[in-house]
């Protein structure tokens, strides 16, 4: 059971992200903490993290957003949801607020991009379909094994539901990609597992995907040990990190513990070959793999280019 704490947001709604792939687009977090409870979540160590089974809902988000946009000389081309939480958490207050914010942005001609492992309610799906050309979606899915997904993503939607959701988004004309993040070494990266997943993704119309291997920080490792009750699964996963490396990443200006370069390269090569066999273009997250990847993982989708000056102003706008 998740405890919902309602609070007034004091800081700006539209905020920059430390993720290099999102450096040119403002972002919105509706909550601090996330009800999906993914045990590998990189936000577990954030100072704003309220603790397990708690989320803080910023109930004045829409009002502050209206005010911020009213004071901008140039509005953003699009907004990304959400670097630190899921837009579609199974919490009525979050889903209701999310719908209101999406409806406002789209009515104002501002595009929206999101990554989710949750369930998009029917009324919100209808809203997104209505504005399909202004929406970019990524759906997180790393395995079709529902038991494995349940261990690591206890309150996220089942993989079969996520596949169905991808199909609905694509059928509605929304540019939609799959995101294999995090890939769990030894658990979700076998030839058989990847083959089933990419076959299913191709079957629902996916043509692009992004991937990144699990990285660790002390709080993430602690969460894994506390929450993964299957000792065999836990030890299989952690055994790959006995020879882990410390790596500076292009996100949060910080360091992570990750697999050695050769091990990650081999995993991405296998994923890439499987994607290629199913006519899916694969991108590797450069923010988390700066030693082997370049460019963007397309986390916020592609947006039409503007003139040089217009493109610069379109990010966060300028106050009047």
**pLDDT per position as a tens digit, 224-260:** 999 999 999 999 999 999 999 999 886 656 789 999 9
Kind plus residue range of the DSSP H or E element containing 283: strand 281-284
> Does a structural domain hold residue 314?
no
Residue span of the structural domain in which 215 resides: 14-301
How many angstroms separate the CA atoms of 66 and 123, rounded?
A: 22
Residues in Cβ contact with 212 at an 8 Å cutoff, skipping those fewer than 6 apart: 180, 181, 182, 183, 284, 285, 288, 289, 297
> Does a structural domain hold residue 8?
no
> Does a structural domain hold residue 162?
yes
Paired strand residues for 80 = 27, 113
Calculate the average pLDDT of the chain: 92
pLDDT above 50 (res 320): no
Instruction: Pull the structure tokens for residue 247.
Output: 């790596």
> Does a structural domain hold residue 313?
no
> Does a structural domain hold residue 317?
no
216 three-state secondary structure: strand
Model pLDDT for residues 133-146, shown as the tens digit of each residue: 999 999 999 999 99
**Class of residue 227 by CB neighbours under 10 A (exposed 0-12, middle 13-18, buried 19+):** middle
> Does a structural domain hold residue 309?
no
Residue 305 is predicted with a pLDDT of 66
Per the structure, the count of domains in the chain is: 1
Asked if 143 and 269 count as a contact pair (C-beta separation under 8 A), the reply is: no
> Does a structural domain hold residue 293?
yes
CATH of the domain at 98: 3.80.30.30
Taking residues 63-68, report their average pLDDT.
97
How many angstroms separate the CA atoms of 313 and 272, rounded?
A: 36
> Does a structural domain hold residue 281?
yes
Model pLDDT for residues 98-120, shown as the tens digit of each residue: 999 999 999 999 999 999 999 99
Residue 182 is predicted with a pLDDT of 97
């Amino acid at each position: 059971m998740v405890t919902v704490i309602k609070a007034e947001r004091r800081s700006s709604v539209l905020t920059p992200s430390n993720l290099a792939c999102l450096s040119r687009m403002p972002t919105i977090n509706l909550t601090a903490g996330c009800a999906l409870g993914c045990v590998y979540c990189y936000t577990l160590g954030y100072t704003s993290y309220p603790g397990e089974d708690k989320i803080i809902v910023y109930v004045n988000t829409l009002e502050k957003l209206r005010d911020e946009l009213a004071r901008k000389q140039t509005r953003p081309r699009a907004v990304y949801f959400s670097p630190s939480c899921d837009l579609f958490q199974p919490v009525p207050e979050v889903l209701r607020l999310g719908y209101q914010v999406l409806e406002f942005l789209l009515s104002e001609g501002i595009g929206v991009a999101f990554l989710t492992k949750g369930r998009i309610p029917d009324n919100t799906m209808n809203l997104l379909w209505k504005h399909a050309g202004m929406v970019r979606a990524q759906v997180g899915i790393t395995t079709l094994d529902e038991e494995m997904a349940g261990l690591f993503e206890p309150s996220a939607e089942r993989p079969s539901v996520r596949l169905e959701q991808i199909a609905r988004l694509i059928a509605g004309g929304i540019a939609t990609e799959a995101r294999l993040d995090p890939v769990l070494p030894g658990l979700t990266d076998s030839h058989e597992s990847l083959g089933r997943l990419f076959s299913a993704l191709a079957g629902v119309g996916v043509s692009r995907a992004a991937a990144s291997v699990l990285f660790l920080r002390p709080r993430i490792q602690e969460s894994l040990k506390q929450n993964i009750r299957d000792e065999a699964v836990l030890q299989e996963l952690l055994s790959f990190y006995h020879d882990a490396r410390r790596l500076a990443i292009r996100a949060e200006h910080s360091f992570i513990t990750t697999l050695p370069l050769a091990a990650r390269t081999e995993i991405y090569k296998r994923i890439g070959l499987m994607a290629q066999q199913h006519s899916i273009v694969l991108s590797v997250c450069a923010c988390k793999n700066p030693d082997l990847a370049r460019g963007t993982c397309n986390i916020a989708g592609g947006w039409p280019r503007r003139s040089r000056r217009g493109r610069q102003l379109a990010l966060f706008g300028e106050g009047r």
